[in-house]
Chains A and B, each alone.
Chain A
Amino acid sequence: GAGVSQSPSNKVTEKGKDVELRCDPISGHTALYWYRQSLGQGLEFLIYFQGNSAPDKSGLPSDRFSAERTGGSVSTLTIQRTQQEDSAVYLCASTYSGDTQYFGPGTRLTVL
């Protein structure tokens, strides 16, 4: 079946602009996670959605970052007023239950 998909695969933006990154989880998966992979920080957790519960936003690095999940499926990660330190690969993962998370290919964000 189809895996986790993310779009765009690459995004180049100018400092100060807003960007939206999209994640389509595997159909039927109830939990969705966003992670960030950057040279300086490695792979780090950003935010977690489980069903209809309030999201766990404990990993978001600043209030410029937000995310939503509509209809319990597709998720959008929004970064406002982008900064150069936001340049990274943003990874989305989903899972039905238990521990195994399935990752998408990521969105490479470059802030000039």
Chain B
Amino acid sequence: AQSVTQLDSHVSVSEGTPVLLRCNYSSSYSPSLFWYVQHPNKGLQLLLKYTSAATLVKGINGFEAEFKKSETSFHLTKPSAHMSDAAEYFCVVSARAQKLVFGQGTRLTINP
């Protein structure tokens, strides 16, 4: 079975500093992995996805993630946080029939 674990329920950074949101996955086959973002009272928006091409995936708004099979990790990073990045972030793995399995989410707070 596929699963993801987001290692931090809450991350707080200062504006202009790097962001790191951690995710480990478990999959019985080569997974498809995603990061989605959810702003308050908004729907889920796809940030980026990994589907067995390049291991470093670039997404929208300056985010990127690196797939590391040896560590079963898919951490999300951004070099410089912006106030508009404050949101809930979900690491997601695609299971059979593309059913998505979500992590518990990481709430990102940006301090001015």
Give chain A's interface residues, CB within 8 Å of chain B.
Answer: 4, 31, 33, 35, 42-45, 48, 50, 56, 59, 91, 93, 95, 98-106
Contacts and interface: CB of A to CB of B under 8 A. Distances in A.
Contacts of A103: 36, 43-45
A105 B99 contact: no
Interface in B93-112: 94, 97-105
Contact of A91 (B43, B49, B101, B104): B43
Interface of B: 32, 34, 36, 42-46, 49, 51, 90, 94, 97-105
Contacts of B34: 99-100
A43 B90 contact: yes
Interface of A is mostly: strand
A93 B99 CA distance: 11
Contact of A33 (B32, B49, B100): B100
B102 A33 contact: no
A99 B105 CA distance: 20
A99 B49 CA distance: 9
